[in-house]
């Protein structure tokens, strides 16, 4: 699935105004109840959609399910996709996406207050499960998370290719000048004096951050043949993207699915030594729900197998740069992919 096809606006049937209204908040009582628990998700009415590639599941209409997500752009988009997938499969869906914070959204799944969400393998393994080291292989990391989370009553569906992890990016001019494609190219193609990095303060001090990264790629910080201390600048996230785009900084720390990457036409360097943890986005289900409806993970796999880093960047771009509504973006992409039909 290319990012180009992800960005084609094509609405059919119901007017855009009517479709957008379906995502507006509904059910103040439900919102008030969760607010008392410290949560403030934006409950939304669920648009009417019809099955396409995502087929209805027999008996699903008798089951109520709640979908949750965290409250940043990518998670809200994935959450809306989950809402629409469950709806097309025939379930009676409550939209409780946009929950502030990772842990509250996670707790909704563990406690059974929500039955479906999307989560990242690295987040589960390192944050929720408390492991100190990630597994470098994406499939092994997903399997390890799936196996361990079974004890929490959760069942992980097959992962997507979306890997929202750390990376370094350069602008097009820098990529052409040095012939850069991978992070190993920094050592072999870029002179020491030109190895200028811009990073966030947290990344600068993380155990899986700047210094270990430079060590792993054979360009230690402060060494004569590595990266001079003066060549590392600590900035806020927005400034990093701006400086990388303008060329004021050669290498900028980025998140691989950020919508600002296509907005600035940046080139993300491949992590050839697999230093950074895998953060593959995967659907997560209440295990009892899957036992009752074993076809459910297959419906979500139809979505997962169409997602990639490029696709997610394009979808995030439409929200963060073009100002579109996450629900509209998710729905239009799923319609364009023939996963669902508008109701």
Here the tokens at position 42 are: 């934006």
235-252 tens-digit pLDDT: 999 999 999 999 999 999
Q: Residue 130's CB: how many other CB atoms inside 10 A?
A: 7
List domains and CATH numbers for the chain.
Answer: 3-163+279-342 (3.40.190.10), 166-268 (3.40.190.120)
CA angle 342, 114, 313 (to 5 degrees): 55
Taking a C-beta distance cutoff of 8 angstroms, is the pair 112, 155 a contact?
no
Taking a C-beta distance cutoff of 8 angstroms, is the pair 260, 148 a contact?
no
Q: Residue 40's CB: how many other CB atoms inside 10 A?
A: 15
Taking a C-beta distance cutoff of 8 angstroms, is the pair 202, 289 a contact?
no
Look at residues 74, 161, 157 and name the one whose alpha carbon lies nearest to residue 145: 157
Kindly report the pTM of this predicted structure.
0.85
CA angle 62, 118, 275 (to 5 degrees): 160
CA dihedral in degrees (192, 237, 132, 300; nearest 10)? -120
- Alpha helices by DSSP H, the chain: 3-6, 16-21, 28-35, 73-88, 102-110, 121-123, 138-149, 172-178, 185-189, 201-205, 210-216, 237-246, 260-263, 287-292, 296-304, 309-320, 326-336
Residue 26 has pLDDT above 70, yes or no: no
119-136 tens-digit pLDDT: 999 999 999 999 999 999
Dist. CA 15–CA 111, nearest whole Å: 38
Dist. CA 302–CA 51, nearest whole Å: 12
199-230 tens-digit pLDDT: 999 999 987 799 999 999 999 999 999 999 99
With bands split at pLDDT 50, 70 and 90, how would you rate the model's confidence at 306?
Answer: very high
Here the tokens at position 331 are: 């729905």
With bands split at pLDDT 50, 70 and 90, how would you rate the model's confidence at 42?
Answer: low
| Phi, psi values for residue 236, rounded to 5° | -80, 165
């Amino acid at each position: 699935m290319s990012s180009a096809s992800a960005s084609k606006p094509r609405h059919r049937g119901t007017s855009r105004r009517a479709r957008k209204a379906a995502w507006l908040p509904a059910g103040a009582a439900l919102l008030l109840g969760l607010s008392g628990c410290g949560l403030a998700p934006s409950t939304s009415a669920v648009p009417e959609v019809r099955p396409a590639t995502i087929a209805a599941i027999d008996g699903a209409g008798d089951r109520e399910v709640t979908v949750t997500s965290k409250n940043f752009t990518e998670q809200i988009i994935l959450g809306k996709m989950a809402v629409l997938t469950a709806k097309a499969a025939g379930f009676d869906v409550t939209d409780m996406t946009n929950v502030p914070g990772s842990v509250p959204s996670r707790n909704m799944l563990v406690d059974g207050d929500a039955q479906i969400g999307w989560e990242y393998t690295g987040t589960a393994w390192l944050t929720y499960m408390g492991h100190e080291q990630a597994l470098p292989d994406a499939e092994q990391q997903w399997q390890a998370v799936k196996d361990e989370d079974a004890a929490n009553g959760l069942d992980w569906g097959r992962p997507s290719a979306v890997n929202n992890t750390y990376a370094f990016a350069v602008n097009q001019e820098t990529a052409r000048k040095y012939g850069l494609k991978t992070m190993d190219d920094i050592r072999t193609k870029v002179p020491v004096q030109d190895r200028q990095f811009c990073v966030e303060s947290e990344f600068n001090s993380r155990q899986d951050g700047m210094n270990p990264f430079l060590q792993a790629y054979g360009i230690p910080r402060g060494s004569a043949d590595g990266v001079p201390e003066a060549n590392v600048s600590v900035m806020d996230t927005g400034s990093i993207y701006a400086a990388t785009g303008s060329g004021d900084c050669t290498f900028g720390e980025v998140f691989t699915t950020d919508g600002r990457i296509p907005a600035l036409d940046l080139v993300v360097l491949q992590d050839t030594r697999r230093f950074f943890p895998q953060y593959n986005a995967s659907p997560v289900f209440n295990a009892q729900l899957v036992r009752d409806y074993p076809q459910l993970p297959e419906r979500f796999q139809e979505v997962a197998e169409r997602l990639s880093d490029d696709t997610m960047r394009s979808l995030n771009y439409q929200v963060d740069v073009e100002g579109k509504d996450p629900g509209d973006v998710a729905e239009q992409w799923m319609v364009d992919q023939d996963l669902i039909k508008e109701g």
